[in-house]
Amino acid sequence: MSFELYSLVLSVAVVALGVATTAILLSFLLFPKLRACLRSKSYTFYLTLIGTIAAISTISALSYQYIYGLEVCVLCWWQRIFMFPIEVMVFFSLLYNDRSTHLATGTLAVMGFLFAGYHYYNHYQNIILGQDVVLPCGTIGLVPSCSEFSFTYFGFLTLPFMALMAFYAIIVLAVLAHYAKPADSK
């Protein structure tokens, strides 16, 4: 698959993930019947969704690096630090039936969300506002600059936006997991 097609498919999936996550969050907050439906799902259901999103994000990031040859900037490394352990944590949580993993995955997702948000904010200034932004991470020349971007779809979507949406979905799912029924209840 070509780089452009791969990026376009992921971009469409990320937009769908963002829309679905926002719809679920609004349903949980505004509609009592839908809140009850969301709370009736099991903890393992939400944990499995968190693990799936984290695994797809990890595979996608590694594909960009190793298959398509994109160099990784400092802020992307930080986002990876917070994303990559999530699927491992979820795997062991499901294996040992641990009901507290949503706290750790939610915390990692919030930290990753902050890095991705800062990274995307700088891309937004460049893409939307047309301002030249140079982050200090690229000035030493050993790593690519965090203010550079490899592609832009729909006029706003870049790699940090993809990470931002993945972390956003994981945060919302971690909150829903907190309110979910225990796996052993019927």
**Distance (Å, rounded) from C-alpha 103 to C-alpha 118?**
23
Q: In this structure, is residue 59 part of a structural domain? A: yes
What is the C-alpha radius of gyration for the chain, rounded to an integer number of angstroms?
Answer: 18
| Domain limits for position 122 | 3-179
According to the model, what pLDDT value does residue 135 have? 61
pTM assigned to the model? 0.87
Largest CA distance in the chain: 58
DSSP-assigned beta bridge partners for residue 42: 181
Structural domain count, the chain: 1
Phi (first) and psi of residue 42, to 5 degrees: -80, 160
Q: What is the pLDDT of residue 186?
A: 46
Rounded CA gap, 150 and 76, in Å?
A: 13
In a domain, 80, yes or no: yes
Inter-CA distances, 115 with 18, 44, 56, Å: 18, 28, 19
Residue 157 lies in a domain: yes
Task: Name residue 52's amino acid.
Answer: T
**Is the distance from CB of 32 to CB of 184 less than 8 angstroms?**
no
pLDDT at 183: 54
Residue 184: inside a domain: no
pLDDT for the residue 17: 95
pLDDT of residue 74: 77
| Alpha-carbon dihedral sign for residues 180, 181, 182, 186 | negative
Hunting for tokens 């939610």 — which residue is that? Answer: 106
Q: What is the pLDDT of residues 122-147, one digit of tens each?
A: 777 776 666 666 665 555 555 555 55
Kindly give the parts of the chain with pLDDT less than 70. Answer: 127-156, 182-186
CATH of the domain at 175: 1.20.1550
Task: With respect to residue 53, please indicate whether it lies within any of the assigned structural domains.
Answer: yes
Give the pLDDT score at 150.
Answer: 67
Answer yes or no: are the C-beta atoms of 87 and 44 closer than 8 Å: no
pLDDT value at residue 130? 67
- In this predicted structure, what is the pLDDT of residue 151? 65
